[in-house]
Amino acid sequence: MPRLSPDTLKAAIDPEGFYRSALPDLKGKPTAQGWILAVCPFHADSDPSLSVNLKHGGFHCFGCGEKGDLITFHAKLNRLSFRDAVADLARRYLLTVEN
């Protein structure tokens, strides 16, 4: 069985659906490039400082400096290692991953 790479996993996940599920408080409409703001779950944030991209899945917080892709976001949000985050997302999206 082929190993599921992080790139294959990211290609199989709709970033907009992922972030709308993980961050129900997305603010406003996305830019033409796909960026939209939310309150950051990684630090005490009252004003939206987290920018997520609904097209390619990247994120960056201008308050605490956290950044990465949707796998990194899932890992940090759920306190998982990168490998465990890949496995968890694969299960959630019904993809096969080899340990």
Question: Tell me: the pLDDT tens digits for 37-50?
Answer: 999 999 998 899 99
The domain segmentation of the chain, as residue ranges, is 1-28+70-99
Categorize the per-residue pLDDT at 1 as very low, low, confident or very high, splitting at 50, 70 and 90.
Answer: very low
Percent of the chain at pLDDT > 70 equals: 93
**Which pLDDT tens digit goes with each residue over 88-98?**
998 888 776 55
Three-class SS of residue 67?
Answer: strand
∠ CA 87-14-30, rounded to 5°: 135
Q: Which pTM value belongs to this model?
A: 0.88
What end-to-end distance do the CA atoms of the chain give, in Å? 11
